[in-house]
Amino acid sequence: MRLVIVGASLSGLRAAQAARRAGHEGELIVIGAEPHLPYTRPPLSKELLQGKQEIEDSALPVDELDVQWRLGTEATGLDRTRRRVRLQDGGEEHYDRLIIATGCRARRFDGPGAHLDGVHTLRTLEDAVALRAALASTRRLLVVGAGFIGCEVAASARSLGVEVTMVDIASHPLVPFGPALGKRWAQMHRDHGVELRLGPGLEALYGDTGSERVAGARLSDGTSVEADTVLIALGATLNTEWLTGSGLELDPGVACDPTLTSTRDPEILAAGDIASVPAALAGGARVRVEHWTTAAEHGQLAGRNALVAHDERTAHTAPPYFWTDQYDAKIQALGCPALAEHSELLELSPDGGRFVAACVQGRLVVGVVAVNAARRLAWYRRALQTPRPLTELKEALAQEDATLGSPVGAMP
Amino acid sequence: MIKVHIDLNLCQSHGECVAIAPDLFQLDENDFISWQEEVDDSRRADLEAAVNTCPMTAIRIEG
């Protein structure tokens, strides 16, 4: 059996490792658009940018994995009839089973001034190296987009002494952690000296007359922001163009059943950012999760499932887990906090620096957000294997004697 | 027996390993990790899942 994995990042690597561990003895080919062996991206916006880690530290251990790597070449097409992946370098790879893990790329700004020098995105190792070099001589950084990448880069830049303005059209930063905690994240960035502009969007970037170097940005509210470096952090675009015309169902991710098998072809599975998979927390609707842990879990499951017949494959059931490190806060989340209508504080440390909040939709807890409370989060992870009503979760919590402390008063 | 190593310079207390095998890995009240350093072969699948799901790739197993 010839197993081909398209995508040589975390998910693709975990799939290859899992397939070998599960006893796959046939050919194993991993195709990657980037020239590198697999590396981990979370440090790129944090430790690497802050100079606490070097490039080689982000390499993922590949060990003695018996894989034929096809690196530095993109997949450009999929012919399911002939079971072939077409490659940018003109080659083809025949597969018996295929795992699609091509992930995302950084979404770019396509308005005026997008071409100017000093305008960055952050997704790849090269992006991080270029941004790190730029920050060394940056006076004011403009971050466009206050999601994970934007907020982490803002925090890293502040730790380097760079002045930061961050803009987002949303009413609060870090939308994936849900609406109720948004004010807290906004205050955290302002407390660390970030000029946060919520509401206006980016209209145009401009340079000084006669210069190809960015000097600032015009926002949709008519104001301007001066900046000598700009990070565009507007989220991600799916790498699915090569699947156009393949007949696979794109929604716009690769539509899968709970076993990560594509809905139209049992020989093809998907994993990571581009896999669109039914989720219990979303009432069975298909959800795409663009987070590290899901990519790792999907990869491991897809690698095992690809070796067996469709009816012997197991389902992915773990709720999403994701985190961010900004300043001195480790913010961790379970489930889908962004679906919540409101939040309720469940635990609070006496000094107020650590807490756990439930994110609630109707009666159900759809997510949990914890700040500097990793040990407690592990408890919630076991308690929330399946969606539960808030009342039930609180009853279980009342039996716990090792909580951070009872919340008194309003949300932190 | 399988030997389990955690690089404490890398560990950031995500708790993935604790969720996978709470009897082998624990976080204390300060969120510091502790773990069973020698584990029976019957737990290999759990240990491999912990190794592969650790966001910091801080866990290594031997044997």
* E-state strands within A140-294: 140-144, 163-168, 195-198, 202-207, 214-219, 224-226, 229-232, 236-238, 254-255, 261-262, 265-270, 275-278, 286-287
Q: Is B51 on the interface with A (CB under 8 A)?
A: no
Distance between start and end Cα atoms, chain A: 55
CA distance B21 to B15: 10
Residues from chain A that touch B10, judged by Cβ atoms under 8 A, are none
User: CA-CA-CA-CA torsion for A313, A318, A320, A322, nearest 10 degrees?
Assistant: -110
Burial of A59 per CB tally in 10 Å (0-12, 13-18, 19+): middle
CA distance A370 to A332: 5
Query: For A182-211, what is each residue's pLDDT tens digit?
Result: 899 999 999 999 999 999 999 999 998 889
Q: What is the pLDDT of residue A310?
A: 98
Q: What is the pLDDT of residue A408?
A: 64
B-contacting residues of A 320-359, CB under 8 Å? Answer: 321, 323, 325, 330, 332
What is the count of residue pairs from A and B with beta carbons less than 8 Å apart?
Answer: 54
Q: What is the pLDDT of residue A411?
A: 54
| A292, A378, A381 ranked by CB distance to B55: nearest | A292
Q: What is the pLDDT of residue A203?
A: 98
Q: What is the pLDDT of residue A283?
A: 87
Going from N- to C-terminal start, the domains of chain B cover 2-62
Residues from chain B that touch A21, judged by Cβ atoms under 8 A, are 48
Interface touch A378/B28, C-beta < 8 Å? no
Confidence check: pLDDT of A410 > 80: no
Query: For A113-155, what is each residue's pLDDT tens digit?
Result: 999 999 999 999 999 999 999 999 999 999 999 999 999 999 9
CB contact at 8 A, A105 and A7: no
Number of Cβ within a 10 Å radius of residue A144: 25
Range of weakest confidence among A69-83, A172-186, A192-206:
A172-186
CA distance A280 to A320: 11
Residues from chain A that touch B35, judged by Cβ atoms under 8 A, are none
Interface touch A321/B18, C-beta < 8 Å? no
CA A267 to chain centre: 27
Q: Is the ipTM of this complex over 0.85?
A: yes
At B5, is the pLDDT very low, low, confident or very high (cuts 50, 70, 90)? very high
Q: How far is B56 from chain A (nearest CA, A)?
A: 9
Number of Cβ within a 10 Å radius of residue B6: 19
Query: For A333-362, what is each residue's pLDDT tens digit?
Result: 999 898 888 899 999 998 888 999 999 999
CB contact set of A348 (below 8 Å; sequence gap of 6+): A354, A355, A404, A405, A406, A407, A408, A412
Q: Which CATH number fits domain B2-62: 3.60.150.10, 1.10.443.10, 3.30.70.20, 3.30.1490.100?
A: 3.30.70.20
Q: Which domains does chain A have, with CATH numbers?
A: 3-103+239-312 (3.50.50.60), 119-234 (3.50.50.60), 328-398 (3.30.390.30)
Q: Is A378 on the interface with B (CB under 8 A)?
A: yes
B-contacting residues of A 182-201, CB under 8 Å? Answer: none
At A104, is the pLDDT very low, low, confident or very high (cuts 50, 70, 90)? very high
Place of tokens 């991993």: A30
Query: For B14-62, what is each residue's pLDDT tens digit?
Result: 999 998 999 999 999 889 999 999 999 999 999 999 999 999 999 999 9
Whole-angstrom CA distances from A179 to A73, A145, A176, A191 are 40, 16, 8, 20
Interface touch B13/A375, C-beta < 8 Å? yes
Whole-angstrom CA distances from A360 to A147, A280, A345, A391, A400 are 21, 15, 11, 11, 21
Q: What is the pLDDT of residue A243?
A: 98
CA distance A213 to A113: 10
Taking residues A165-189, report their average pLDDT: 92
CA distance A214 to A205: 7
Tell me the β-bridge partners of A331. Answer: A324, A371
Residues from chain B that touch A378, judged by Cβ atoms under 8 A, are 15, 18-19, 22, 27
At A12, is the pLDDT very low, low, confident or very high (cuts 50, 70, 90)? very high
Q: What is the pLDDT of residue B14?
A: 93
Tell which residue, A300, A104, A158, has the closest CA to residue B52.
A300
- The DSSP code for A213 is B
| A61, A293, A378 ranked by CB distance to B57: nearest | A61
* Chain A contact probe: residue of B31, B33, B44, B60 with most A CBs at under 10 A: B31
Take residue A280 and report the two structure tokens written for it: 């219990």
Query: For A221-268, what is each residue's pLDDT tens digit?
Result: 999 999 999 999 999 999 999 999 999 999 999 999 999 999 999 999
Helices B44-53 and A10-21 cross at an angle (nearest 10°) of 170
Main-chain dihedrals φ then ψ at residue A63, nearest 5 degrees: 55, -145
Query: For A257-293, what is each residue's pLDDT tens digit?
Result: 999 999 999 999 999 999 999 998 888 999 999 999 9
Whole-angstrom CA distances from A364 to A344, A388, A393, A399, A410 are 12, 6, 9, 20, 21
Query: For A282-322, what is each residue's pLDDT tens digit?
Result: 889 999 999 999 999 999 999 999 999 999 999 999 889 99
Burial of A129 per CB tally in 10 Å (0-12, 13-18, 19+): middle
Query: For B35-46, what is each residue's pLDDT tens digit?
Result: 999 999 999 999
Interface touch A293/B13, C-beta < 8 Å? no
Q: What is the pLDDT of residue A4?
A: 98
At A409, is the pLDDT very low, low, confident or very high (cuts 50, 70, 90)? low
Q: What is the pLDDT of residue A401?
A: 79
